[in-house]
Amino acid sequence: MNNFEQYTPTKVIFGKGSEEKAGEAVKNAGGSKVLLVYGGGSAVKSGLIERVEKSLTEAGVGYIEFGGAKPNPTLAHAEDGVVIAKTENIDFILAVGGGSAIDTAKAIAHGTANPDKALWDLWTKKVPLTKSLPVGAILTIAAAGSEMSDSAVLTNEETGAKGGINTEFNRCRFAIMNPELTFTLPLYQQAAGITDIMMHTMERYFIPKIKCDLTDEIAEGLLRTVIKNGKIVMKDQNNYDAQAEIMWCSSISHNNLTECGRGKDFSVHKFGHALSAVFDYTHGASLAAVWGAWAEYLYKDAPDRFAKFARKVWNIDDPDDLSSAKKGIDATVAYFKSIGMPVSLKEIGPDVEWTDEIIELLAMKATMQDTVKLSRIRPIGAKEAAEIYKLALR
């Protein structure tokens, strides 16, 4: 087991009607004037924003609305939020939505606290991030896990680069989670969220030659829970118990608990980020489209890990490691397909001409122009990344 530090400071406020505690939570966290960050009109139409604003008012907390967070959050939109936050003397950022709204809120918090620094310079660590504003989250979709994670992702539309930053300043002060808020999600978004939760867990799982029994048990149990309840909510989105299980799994999958002693990889995310940066695909869908190819490319280099995954998550009874590993991969791909996710590049982009030039572009973006090696199973450079993308064409 590797050395590790575990720190999960986010206060979780979970359950029915919990959004009505938003004002109290902000006030307890020291906020007096909030920038309310959210995405499209659904949060307004559902009455959620009105309920949140009522709670803020009753707690004596002022607020300014800032809507329009995009599914793949952008630098430019976050920069617009920074301008408003500075002008309005905002001292707390409150996100209402999923990972896109929360990541946008984190970016605005960093930019507002560092008005003399360019946000992208902070994001790419060209300039060190030493302070930020406090952030809270009201979750409406279980997916990214940003409500409890130390990470956030932005896309720089000018350069086409999509990248993340990991810092303790990304930790939300609180996360309000009411599973009822997920009942009206489009099924495709629900499925993409389920996929993202699984990916956050699997990106930490397939790291060989490290013994972490408890961490493995947590990850395997989380995956079984998501798979089981994902099937339920795809048929009945109003099933509170199933949605509650998935929402809690979303947070646990990305708050670093499932990496204790093992660490993380996130190479599949690099492949997916390149796809969504170029084509603006839904994040979870971009991951499902390449995971099977990634796994098939690497499983023979770590057959014991993939076999354990197959046996513990999919209950595959096969004593041969290679055979079990392949069956586990096939079961995972079949599950993604069963919930409506694309499992190849041709499925996610049926109208795209997947030329060698496009594949090379994606491979270079995934490996930062072939300057970094992906995967802790064996090194993946641009050449190997292109081979994986080609395998994902199926």
Q: Where are the domains of the chain?
A: 11-181, 190-391
Is the pLDDT at 72 greater than 90, yes or no?
no
Q: What is the pLDDT of residue 160?
A: 85
Place of tokens 């397939």: 206
Q: pLDDT category, 40, cuts 50, 70, 90? A: confident
In the prediction, which pLDDT does 357 show?
97
Residue 391 has pLDDT above 90, yes or no: yes
CATH superfamily entry for domain 190-391: Dehydroquinate synthase-like - alpha domain (1.20.1090.10)
Q: Among residues of the chain, what percentage have pLDDT more than 70?
A: 100
CATH architecture entry for 11-181? 3-Layer(aba) Sandwich (3.40)
Q: What is the mean pLDDT of residues 299-312?
A: 98
- The average pLDDT across 199-225 equals 97
